[in-house]
Structure 1
Amino acid sequence: MPWGPARVPSSGSLSDVLIGRRSELALLRAIVAAPPSLALIEGEAGIGKSRLVGELLATTELAGARRLVGQCEQLQEPLPLSPLLDAFRLAAGELARSRPLNPVTGALAPLLPEIAGHLPPPPPPLPDQRAERHRVFRAAVALLDHLSPLVLVLEDVHWADGGTHDFLAYLAAHQPRDLSVILTVRTEAGRLPIREAFARAPSGPARSVGLTPLSPPDVEELARGVLKTDLPGAFAALLYEKTGGIPFVVEEVLRTLLERLPAGEIPGRPDVLAGLAVPTVLRDVVLQRLSSLDAPAREILCAAAVIGMTPDDRVLAEVTGRDAAEIAGALGRAQAVGLLHEEGGHCHFRHALARQIVYESMAVSGRRWLHLKTARALESGAGPRPVARLAHHYRHAGHTTEFVDNAEAAADTALSHGNDATAARFLLQALEIDELPGETRVRLAVKLGRSAVDGLAHAEAVPILERLLATEPLPSDRRGELRFALGRLLRQHGEARAGHLQIEQAIDDLADQPALLGRALAVLAAPETVVDRHVSEHAIRCDQAEEAARRSGDHDVAIAVRIARASLLLEQGDPESERLIDELLRDDRLRAVPRERARACLNWAQGALHVGHLRRAEALLAEGREAADQVGYLRVVEVVELVTAAADRAAGRWEGLEERVRRLGGTASMFAAASQDSRLLHGALLAATGPAEEAIAILVNVIAVAERAGAVWPLIPARTTLSRLLLTLDDAAGAAEVATTALAHVRSKGNWVWGAETVLCLVDALDVRGSAGTAAPLVAELAAGIVGADAPLAQAALLTARAVLAPEEADGLLDAARTTLGEAGLRYDEALASERLGRHRCEHAGDGGPILESALRMYGTMGADRDIARICRIMRQNGVPIPYPWRGGRPSHGQTLSSREREVALLAAEGKTNQEIATELFLSRRTVESHVSSALRKLGLLSRKELRGLEVERPFDDG
């Protein structure tokens, strides 16, 4: 039997799963399975040696095996045999139950007073100290033999004293046949005395199990397991660079981040990772290693930390004034203590945090001096000027003029290679210098305005541009360009109205710059960004943009304007948009600019979803994703995820969708506008799945933010979704009020394709209140507004609204609406239309049962619990049997409630809140919400209010 959990080394790991060590664990298991055996687990500090031992001892093969674990301590004067004696102390219980011991084991009694009572009497002392030590060694081997079969683990043997090393050499030559010995040792410890003895052991040479750093995919898997969420590639790559793949360092970094942020927010905040303070535990380890070096080696290593992760030998020699031999020796000594490692023939810091610790160990004045010397050394080198590195070193040396010159040059280089984020970073740093001349500040700000849009530096750039426009006397062309840049940034930052106004103000100033003017007018042509601008105004702006593009003679501007024209037409359901989009996608000039193509395709994909063309949206999404991936276009990564989620929602692919959109709309979102769209999508999902209270809260928030920002999208669809939700909660008056407000925005914008669903909500609300006939002029207005529009959602909404007004024609109209939505692939909307048609037929002496059942199954595959509850009630009311299962699998407890669901439902019927129920039943609030939702669905109820009349006699399942 094992001797208790204390025998398994504790790694203190954040991860429950061993990552990237499958082959090493398999090798160890094979070694231990064939005693007598010896194993050396080797690797640098933090690489996971103890974790691997712990995993080995936890395997099923060793679950019942005896094991002893001893730990070597880092002491100035280690105690003789201390790890072995510590291990023997753990065997007291076993010795108390075991057969008589070999008398020689009594020699251990004076060394082990805790278990001396279980050992034979100590033999008389020997006059020869060497003989006495030999007898102790024999006693220890005899005791190990007595306890065998046994696995003996000694940790951190590089810290063991000479006596322990001597014993291990003796043990290798006299190893009991049922004993397996495992030692952990650091690779940087150099050549240990026991290695040779273990290599010549009679039982065969010791097997070496070498541990290397984790690969980038392993680091990503480890972090994903700790944070319990997916990781963006950029975050995973930065985490690997920061930690060098050393598991201990990875987990210490994550532990530090978890002290600051919720786990779900961390992957979206690479800025926090980039600016992370070094974990205290890691700092102590690195500083201890640094202090073990001699003064010349420390001096050279500090200079190396200033130069970079991989210091250039020439630059290092010039900065330190040392010759090649001195530098090679110093780097070798640093490598021996684990601060550096060799890769590709060059010395690197072990990981970015090791370099950071060495760097921060120097006085500030010393660092500034080394940065200046490094900059001078880099300037004296051959080849192109390394402007990015020069900017970095001059900045930290405090030489602002040289820093600004090189930062601007570095930004220009980054922009020429399409790296807007890097350009924005250099420009932001340069603009932090207070003593910049006015002309230089304006020039840099103009470049920042261009780069910040794609460089995701919105929040930092906006106040800089606003301050310049407010305080600097600017020539009109500069003022116009700054206003245009500021307007674009504000729009992406969620300030639709403010951004639109800035660009409008820039138009006159850009009159003499037709290329920029054409681009600015093309932005103003976009209809979905701002309230209080009629689509006719957008069309005029588009015409003006075409004229400016013609004057400029710039083909790229002409392409941008044609893209805007296609978007404007698409959002109105104009069939001409399809022809224009197809032409643009075949245009080699657009294909040559992957970023422009990616942006265009994603905008068109969103427009196609707005009007109900799912298949076209998915094709455009695929094209946009491919173009973005081609050039690693980070700006649109979040938009790709958003459009993908919206397409999945429309197509009824809801598995895991709620969690995806919840994450997209979180605080880590890079784009305020995209975050609002994500929250709208989240609210729409919850309106179908529940809880309704959370859906209402999200939609109300989206509406409030959109109203403040002046963003027409998602203002209209958010109000429409809220109106529909209120209708399902029997609040027809509230639904009518919300729909009427949304309708005012529709009229102001003049795009009835967007307003069709709004009109239908208002018609339904009026119908519930018995005044549907008053909506006839409104339906006629809608019909006139979408004449000739290729917009399945709008056409289906019009057909449905007409059905409400003309009951005698309703069957054909509702069937046509359902067919329109089904042919468009809009699965959820098709289910809603099927429910409406089935209910109509049931209520008008038709056979609506099969259609209701079809709708139920569609809701079931999507997990639309609120819709399921509603349609089940409709089916019961109309005597339509409810088939089980209808999800494609076995629903829990059929249509009856489990005992827990019943308990929760009865408490809810008493008027208790979810939190009160959770507290009373010792459940999480989320679990209570799930039980309430399930109970409502099974009972065919739409809201908690209806639970107030819950009858206890209703059949329940006690299972």
Structure 2
Amino acid sequence: MPSGALSDTLVGRHAELALLRGVIDARPSLALVEGEAGIGKSRLVAELFAAPGLAATRRLVGQCEQLQEPLPLSPLLDAFRRAGAELARSRPPNPVVGALAPLLPEIAELLPPPLPPLPDQRAERHRVFRAAVALLDHLSPLVLVLEDVHWADGGTHDFLAFLAAHMPPGLTVILTVRTGSGLLPIREALARAPSGPARTISLAPLTLPEVEELARSIVRTDLPPAFAEPLYEKTGGIPFIVEEVLRTLLERLPAGQIPGRPDVLADLAVPTVLRDVVLQRLSALDDPAREILGAAAVVGMTPDERVLAEVAGSGPPAVARALAQAQAVGLLHEEGGRCRFRHALARQIVYESVPVSGRRWLHLQTAQALETGAASGAGPKPVARLAHHYRHAGRAAEFVANAEAAADTASSHGDDATAARFLLQALEIGELSREVRVRLAVKLGRAAVDGLAHAEALPVLERLLATEPLPAHLRGELRFALGRLLRQQGETRAGHLQIEGALEDLAERPALLGRALAVLAAPETVVDRHVSEHAARCDQAEKAARRSGERDVRVAVRIARASLLLEQGDPASTRLIAGLLHDDELRAAPREHARACLNWAQGALHVGRLELAEALLAEGRQVADQAEYLRLAEITELVTAAVDLAAGRWAGLEERASRLAGQGAKVGAASLDRRLLHATLLAATGPAEDATARLGDVIAVAERVGAVWPLIPARVTLSRLLLTLDDAAGAVEHATAALAHVRSKGNWVWGAESVLCLVNALDALGEADQAAGLVDELGVGISGADAPIAQAALLSARAVLARALDALEADRLLDAARTTLREAGLRYEEALAAERLGRWRCERGAADGGRLLEGALRLYGEMGADRDIARVCRLMRQNGVPIPYPWRGGRPSHGQTLSSREREVVALAARGKTNQEIATELFLSRRTVESHVSSALRKLGLLSRKELRGRAALPAEPTGSAEA
């Protein structure tokens, strides 16, 4: 039974315990035990090791503290300190473990000699990570338990992500984390661990019968039925609160008496049961003990007794007596030979029981005690803790100084998020001098871009630029930082303008100037900037890079040049990218390397070079994983989905795209791309109304923020969709609007599909000849471009124009377009071309028209493009082409007949009800309704819900039809 627990019986957790036991039996393995505060996460882990057969299991336990030092890995190092006895008995570890010796002075003599320091901080961190994994491997078989990982610092999260990818074969890792504390940054890494995804074990509150069972095990007798329900209601089924309530009640009652009346709980309910319980326990202490415990709550979860004695102004004996009293009443418990608050909530309540003025004084005393300890050589100056205490002591100058130092330390360890947090807190102080405010803001601008503190940092930088007279070089740096933040928040035009405005001020800072110009050279960002202007910016960036003499700037400019050429389909981009990928300068900067690969992969997709995109994505993912660059995970997932969409690998893609479009993006600029991806997929697979609405949303936002790339493809996709819905006028409108942006950008490679859409729409209106000059202009614009999508679009547009004059020439051109798309691996576009070619040949009686339509149908079927399946099936019936079955693979889904459930859904849809209204009426999920509608439309040969309305009757239901 864990220390301080009242019940020696585990209640309501047997299934979770079995799951956790299974994790240990399947090494290497990862488990995440999650639940709210007081739910019993630590108790579950303790019970695991108390189980028969596991009591002797070797384990190391580390505790994450609520207030962490910027220096990472403290909970892991805490666990390693407990391994001294085992290391003393074992053979010498791998020499790389010596990298941990300076961090573990308590057991340094048992480790290999320290290694010479590396000049590169990132390389040093990587070596420490390798050393930690090697030590875990050396101690295996082993269970590593890290408690309260929601409080872990960024360095610990990075290590856990690294560990997930390099799990020793004999290791099990168990992490406990509190729900409601935000998304765990390492969830992506845990989900993709090579040894298998982490097993998540979620703990829910106890049910009423379980609360009754827990109470019965505590009072050791049956409780009156009228007592259990109020106890459950008052405690919410949280085991910790149940125990604390019963602990207090049992102490109030005479010995041997049990709580029989439910009204005895009434006075524990305001404002919360837990607060009342803890305050009542606190009141049981004498005055000196209460004062010392209040000081302990200020000092920390596990207060250092030396610091506590100095803060409380009491001698060690008085501190020892106070801690003993607190432990006796259950406010503290012993862990690892030290007294610790039983729960963070208990510490918080004790802390808040101290008057505000008293807390300020105690924080000041704590800060001074920590300063004294650091001055005496007890260790490095704990600047993060000092910042915390000086802030709450109301000592602004000391807080700002230590917060800046903590930010500097965090930045030196690559922890930009922590650095940005400290700087934001410091900038909240109103009485900062202008010099200090500017210095902190400049550091914030540098940290916030990679630290993902965009929303918080933006108003700080904007206010500073608006109110402070700054020297030009600082004003330029801040405007550049602000522009980058705005771009990352998705405010493309505003960010671009800020960076343009910074150029003049950066004239004497060539390194920053070169970086700013390289950013402005990217053509796929902002509207109303011609590619010639982007090229000029790139030329200027090269000059600034040469002037700066800095390798990193030179690499950034070369990356920008490659992107600019790639987006225009310039064949020279292939040679430039290949050269950069083998260049030591780029390889020496793994974060730039990974970002460049992912950006180039997106550019390759823009022009239809799928094979290049897949290769760049693979390299970018590998470099990001090796560099533990977790912040690229979101972009990597997006690019992976986009590559799968282009390649026709659509199995499970709709769910992935829906999740990507629905979740909040850390990098706001990726939000539009994610929504466009989902809308594009829906245009082929989902109800047309949903796709139309989503594409309209993307277009509206892209126009507002001035983002050119999502804007052009969104309008093209909507134009193509509207044409399938017989809205040729709407298709012309969106294709024309897309072309306007193409002209202002001057990149015809991006405009080829919009030209094809316009030609198709005009052809549907009988006016295709009006586009002849435009097609010629496109041919000149993409001459020599290595851009399969654009070249195929040009061939298709010429085929449409040629059809009225020479059907065979039109066939030849369209077949050439289909071949181009097939060779590029663009399966969906290949299917569209095959469908059109088959239709043309069927219309003129050619023998192979039906074969081409069947080929298109199979391609659509493999991808699950239900709307296209419905259209081509109708086309095959119109031309007397037999529809093969099964043509789609997988389960039959009632062939071409409707299931009972599909008939119900379709009947309601035909009456004009929305998907949500249907879902509510039939007690289904909205997603299930969408699936039934899509399947039914395909089976009925219809293209949209609009065609359902007013339909007099549905096909007769076959006998024995089963419900879908």
One fold, TM greater than 0.5? yes
The one-character-per-residue Cα deviations of 1:139-196 (angstroms, maximum 9, x if unpaired) are xxxxxxxxxxxxxxxxxxxxxxxxxxxxxxxxxxxxxxxxxxxxxxxxxxxxxxxxxx
Provide the residue aligned with 2:466 in structure 1: 470
**1 or 2 for the larger relative contact order (CA 8 Å, sep ≥6)?**
2
8 Å CA contact 2:719–2:734 kept in 1: the answer is yes
8 Å CA contact 2:598–2:636 kept in 1: the answer is yes
Match of 1:303 among 295, 302, 307: 295
Moved more, 917-926 or 309-318: 917-926
Q: Judging changes above 3 Å, is the alpha-carbon distance between structure 1 residues 50 and 401 closer, same or farther for their aligned structure 2 residues?
A: closer
Match of 2:671 among 672, 675, 678: 675
Provide the residue aligned with 1:31 in structure 2: none
Count of aligned residue pairs for this structure pair: 745
Q: What code does the residue aligned with 2:473 have?
A: D
Match of 2:582 among 578, 582, 586: 586
8 Å CA contact 1:899–1:957 kept in 2: the answer is no
8 Å CA contact 2:387–2:399 kept in 1: the answer is yes
Provide the residue aligned with 2:369 in structure 1: 377
Provide the residue aligned with 2:814 in structure 1: 814
Provide the residue aligned with 1:697 in structure 2: 693
C-alpha separation in 2, matches of 1:595 and 1:722: 36
Map 1:267-346 to 2 at 5 A: 280=272, 282-284=274-276, 286-287=278-279, 289-291=281-283, 295-328=287-320, 330-331=322-323, 334=326, 339-340=331-332, 345-346=337-338
The one-character-per-residue Cα deviations of 1:876-908 (angstroms, maximum 9, x if unpaired) are 112222222233212311101123323333443
Provide the residue aligned with 2:861 in structure 1: 860
Residue 715 of structure 1 and its aligned partner are, at CA, apart by: 0.8
**Residue 660 (1) aligns with residue 661 (2):** no
Moved more, 684-693 or 817-826: 817-826
Provide the residue aligned with 2:958 in structure 1: 957
Match of 2:16 among 14, 19, 33: 19
C-alpha separation in 2, matches of 1:684 and 1:749: 23
Provide the residue aligned with 2:884 in structure 1: 883
Map 1:347-386 to 2 at 5 A: 347-381=339-373, 382=377, 383-386=379-382
> Is there any run of 5+ residues in structure 2 with no aligned partner, and where?
1-8, 25-36, 46-144, 150-171, 191-199, 209-231, 237-269
Map 1:484-503 to 2 at 5 A: 484-503=480-499
Residue 307 of structure 1 and its aligned partner are, at CA, apart by: 2.3
The one-character-per-residue Cα deviations of 1:79-128 (angstroms, maximum 9, x if unpaired) are xxxxxxxxxxxxxxxxxxxxxxxxxxxxxxxxxxxxxxxxxxxxxxxxxx
The one-character-per-residue Cα deviations of 1:748-785 (angstroms, maximum 9, x if unpaired) are 00111111111111111111111112212111111111
Provide the residue aligned with 2:101 in structure 1: none
C-alpha separation in 2, matches of 1:926 and 1:768: 34
C-alpha separation in 1, matches of 2:274 and 2:887: 55
8 Å CA contact 1:19–1:221 kept in 2: the answer is no
Q: Judging changes above 3 Å, is the alpha-carbon distance between structure 1 residues 251 and 640 closer, same or farther for their aligned structure 2 residues?
A: farther
Residue 10 of structure 1 and its aligned partner are, at CA, apart by: 13
Provide the residue aligned with 1:824 in structure 2: 824
**C-alpha root-mean-square deviation of aligned residues, in Å?**
3.7
The one-character-per-residue Cα deviations of 1:281-329 (angstroms, maximum 9, x if unpaired) are 5545555555555555544443333223333333223223444455455
Q: What code does the residue aligned with 1:718 have?
A: A
SS in 2 for 1:806: helix
SS in 2 for 1:627: helix
Map 1:69-218 to 2 at 5 A: none
Q: Judging changes above 3 Å, is the alpha-carbon distance between structure 1 residues 279 and 682 closer, same or farther for their aligned structure 2 residues?
A: farther
Q: Judging changes above 3 Å, is the alpha-carbon distance between structure 1 residues 848 and 288 closer, same or farther for their aligned structure 2 residues?
A: farther
C-alpha separation in 2, matches of 1:329 and 1:422: 38
Provide the residue aligned with 2:120 in structure 1: none
Provide the residue aligned with 1:836 in structure 2: 836
Could you state the TM-score of these two structures normalised by the residue count of structure 2? 0.71
C-alpha separation in 2, matches of 1:849 and 1:907: 35
Provide the residue aligned with 2:528 in structure 1: 532
The one-character-per-residue Cα deviations of 1:407-435 (angstroms, maximum 9, x if unpaired) are 11111222222211111111111111111
C-alpha separation in 1, matches of 2:480 and 2:954: 68
Provide the residue aligned with 2:902 in structure 1: 901
C-alpha separation in 2, matches of 1:438 and 1:594: 37
Provide the residue aligned with 1:752 in structure 2: 748
Residue 841 of structure 1 and its aligned partner are, at CA, apart by: 2.8
**Residue 640 (1) aligns with residue 636 (2):** yes
Residue 47 of structure 1 and its aligned partner are, at CA, apart by: 2.9
Q: Judging changes above 3 Å, is the alpha-carbon distance between structure 1 residues 880 and 955 closer, same or farther for their aligned structure 2 residues?
A: farther
SS in 2 for 1:18: helix
8 Å CA contact 1:215–1:245 kept in 2: the answer is no
8 Å CA contact 1:46–1:246 kept in 2: the answer is no
Residue 486 of structure 1 and its aligned partner are, at CA, apart by: 1.0
Q: Judging changes above 3 Å, is the alpha-carbon distance between structure 1 residues 625 and 348 closer, same or farther for their aligned structure 2 residues?
A: farther
**Residue 941 (1) aligns with residue 934 (2):** no
Provide the residue aligned with 1:418 in structure 2: 414
Provide the residue aligned with 2:600 in structure 1: 604
C-alpha separation in 2, matches of 1:641 and 1:378: 44
8 Å CA contact 1:219–1:245 kept in 2: the answer is no
C-alpha separation in 2, matches of 1:334 and 1:407: 33
Residue 920 of structure 1 and its aligned partner are, at CA, apart by: 5.3
The one-character-per-residue Cα deviations of 1:421-456 (angstroms, maximum 9, x if unpaired) are 111111111111111111211111111111111111
8 Å CA contact 1:48–1:247 kept in 2: the answer is yes
Q: Judging changes above 3 Å, is the alpha-carbon distance between structure 1 residues 415 and 783 closer, same or farther for their aligned structure 2 residues?
A: same
SS in 1 for 2:444: helix
Q: Judging changes above 3 Å, is the alpha-carbon distance between structure 1 residues 232 and 685 closer, same or farther for their aligned structure 2 residues?
A: farther
C-alpha separation in 1, matches of 2:424 and 2:454: 11
The one-character-per-residue Cα deviations of 1:491-532 (angstroms, maximum 9, x if unpaired) are 111111111111111111111111111111111101111111
Q: What code does the residue aligned with 1:899 have?
A: S
Q: What code does the residue aligned with 1:311 have?
A: P
Q: Judging changes above 3 Å, is the alpha-carbon distance between structure 1 residues 230 and 644 closer, same or farther for their aligned structure 2 residues?
A: farther
Provide the residue aligned with 1:450 in structure 2: 446
Q: What code does the residue aligned with 2:755 have?
A: V
Q: Judging changes above 3 Å, is the alpha-carbon distance between structure 1 residues 511 and 776 closer, same or farther for their aligned structure 2 residues?
A: same
**Residue 518 (1) aligns with residue 514 (2):** yes
Residue 488 of structure 1 and its aligned partner are, at CA, apart by: 0.8
Q: What code does the residue aligned with 1:848 have?
A: G
Provide the residue aligned with 1:460 in structure 2: 456
Moved more, 373-382 or 298-307: 298-307
Which structure has the bigger radius of gyration?
1
Residue 733 of structure 1 and its aligned partner are, at CA, apart by: 0.5
Q: Judging changes above 3 Å, is the alpha-carbon distance between structure 1 residues 819 and 329 closer, same or farther for their aligned structure 2 residues?
A: farther
Q: Judging changes above 3 Å, is the alpha-carbon distance between structure 1 residues 751 and 344 closer, same or farther for their aligned structure 2 residues?
A: farther
Q: Identity of paired residues, percent?
A: 73
Residue 952 of structure 1 and its aligned partner are, at CA, apart by: 3.2
8 Å CA contact 2:407–2:419 kept in 1: the answer is yes
SS in 1 for 2:789: helix
Residue 489 of structure 1 and its aligned partner are, at CA, apart by: 0.9
Q: Judging changes above 3 Å, is the alpha-carbon distance between structure 1 residues 313 and 911 closer, same or farther for their aligned structure 2 residues?
A: closer
Provide the residue aligned with 2:105 in structure 1: none
**Residue 556 (1) aligns with residue 509 (2):** no
C-alpha separation in 1, matches of 2:326 and 2:883: 74
SS in 1 for 2:432: coil
Provide the residue aligned with 1:874 in structure 2: 875
8 Å CA contact 2:641–2:656 kept in 1: the answer is yes
C-alpha separation in 1, matches of 2:320 and 2:930: 65
Residue 373 of structure 1 and its aligned partner are, at CA, apart by: 1.1
Q: What code does the residue aligned with 1:364 have?
A: V
Map 1:183-262 to 2 at 5 A: 233=186, 247=203
C-alpha separation in 2, matches of 1:279 and 1:577: 66
Q: Judging changes above 3 Å, is the alpha-carbon distance between structure 1 residues 384 and 899 closer, same or farther for their aligned structure 2 residues?
A: closer
**Residue 569 (1) aligns with residue 565 (2):** yes
8 Å CA contact 1:214–1:245 kept in 2: the answer is no
